[in-house]
Amino acid sequence: MMKIAYENELRSLQSWINNVNMGLASVGTVTTDLASANNTCYQINAIAEEIVKEYPFYARELKNISTNLFKSSAYGTVTVNNAAFGELYIIIGHIVEEPVDVAVWHEVHPRIVAISQELFCDGYYDSAAEKAIKEVETRLRELFQLLKPGVTVPTKVGDIIGALLTENGAYHFADLSTVSRKDYCRGIQFLFEGIFAAYRNPSAHKNIPCTKRESIEQIMLASQLMYILDKQYYK
């Protein structure tokens, strides 16, 4: 099952929110001990740190909420601040419905999503990127078999690109009636060749570590290539 980096904190906090919400509905106020309050604030801040790039507004608000969520009460207990709790309820509800690590995947080609999303969200950034590029190669081989039946599929991906994506290739993805469109065709061919030279071939021989940013960049590139392979132009 796909996970996000702060899943444990999110689940625990959501459970606490549900319990507090029921308490507020029945008695109007909720008190807790200081240790539990500190643990709740720790979870809020942990989530805020994880979402700072994707949800900067929520990250700032969560940090503010953590400082205002509890008010000192009698006998070493603290009382939940209803106003701050209301803000927390809405923000966490949104994050649960649309986890930040998942939001970007709406823009990614479905085949890349299927092969890379779970790996990426589980933190396996290098594997997610490598499989995305390999999925493009798989699609190229499928197209070769479809468009050149009876011809042996070349071993080298560069030969497949040459057979499919050159100006006289078997796969027509653009109108070539103008110089600018022919330039576009050559540019796309070079894009495919460059991406496979940079990412597919080195990773076929050794493991190359990949950061989160580098992984999503390669995944988005692979998605772009897949969408190009979806838009066959019929003369």
Residue 35 included in any domain:
yes
Q: Would the pLDDT of 204 be above 60?
A: no
More confident site: 204 or 25: 25
pLDDT the model gives residue 39:
95
Are 171 and 138 contained in the same domain?
yes
Query: pLDDT-based confidence at 1, cuts 50/70/90?
Result: very low
- Using only C-alpha atoms, the chain has a radius of gyration, in whole angstroms, of 25
CA distances from 98 to 4, 76, 91, 103, 220 (A): 11, 37, 11, 6, 20
Burial class (CB in 10 A: 0-12, 13-18, 19+), 81: middle
Are 166 and 96 contained in the same domain?
no
Residues 226, 108: contact at Cβ < 8 Å?
no
pLDDT in tens, 117-151: 888 877 889 999 999 999 999 999 999 999 999 99
Give the range of the structural domain holding residue 51, as residue numbers without chain letter.
7-104
Q: Would the pLDDT of 233 be above 60?
A: no
Q: Rounded CA gap, 179 and 52, in Å? A: 46
What DSSP letter does each residue of 41-84 carry, written as one string? HHHHHHHHHHTTTT-HHHHHHHHHHHHHSEEE-GGGEEEE-HHH
Residue 1 included in any domain:
no
Q: Rounded CA gap, 130 and 125, in Å? A: 9
Are 80 and 122 contained in the same domain?
no
Q: Position 49: which residue type?
A: E
pLDDT the model gives residue 225:
96
Which of 104, 134, 162 delimits the end of a domain?
104
pLDDT in tens, 32-65: 999 999 999 999 999 999 888 778 889 999 999 9
Q: Rounded CA gap, 154 and 176, in Å? A: 26
Give 77's strand partners.
33
Residue 2 included in any domain:
no
Q: Between the ranges 5-14, 46-55, 90-99, 190-199, where is the mean pLDDT highest?
A: 190-199
pLDDT the model gives residue 106:
82
Q: Rounded CA gap, 4 and 2, in Å? A: 7
Are 70 and 136 contained in the same domain?
no
pLDDT the model gives residue 95:
87
Mean pLDDT of 151-162: 96
Are 54 and 76 contained in the same domain?
yes
Query: pLDDT-based confidence at 24, cuts 50/70/90?
Result: very high
Are 164 and 148 contained in the same domain?
yes
Are 87 and 128 contained in the same domain?
no
Query: pLDDT-based confidence at 206, cuts 50/70/90?
Result: low
pLDDT in tens, 166-188: 988 999 888 888 899 889 999 99
The model carries a pTM of: 0.64
DSSP state of 152: P
Are 55 and 117 contained in the same domain?
no
pLDDT in tens, 88-126: 999 999 888 876 566 678 889 999 999 998 888 778 899
Count up the domains in the chain and report the number.
Answer: 2
Are 69 and 115 contained in the same domain?
no
Are 18 and 86 contained in the same domain?
yes
pLDDT in tens, 58-96: 999 999 999 999 998 877 799 999 999 999 999 999 888
Query: pLDDT-based confidence at 3, cuts 50/70/90?
Result: low
Residue 234 included in any domain:
no
pLDDT the model gives residue 155:
94
Are 162 and 216 contained in the same domain?
yes
Are 49 and 80 contained in the same domain?
yes
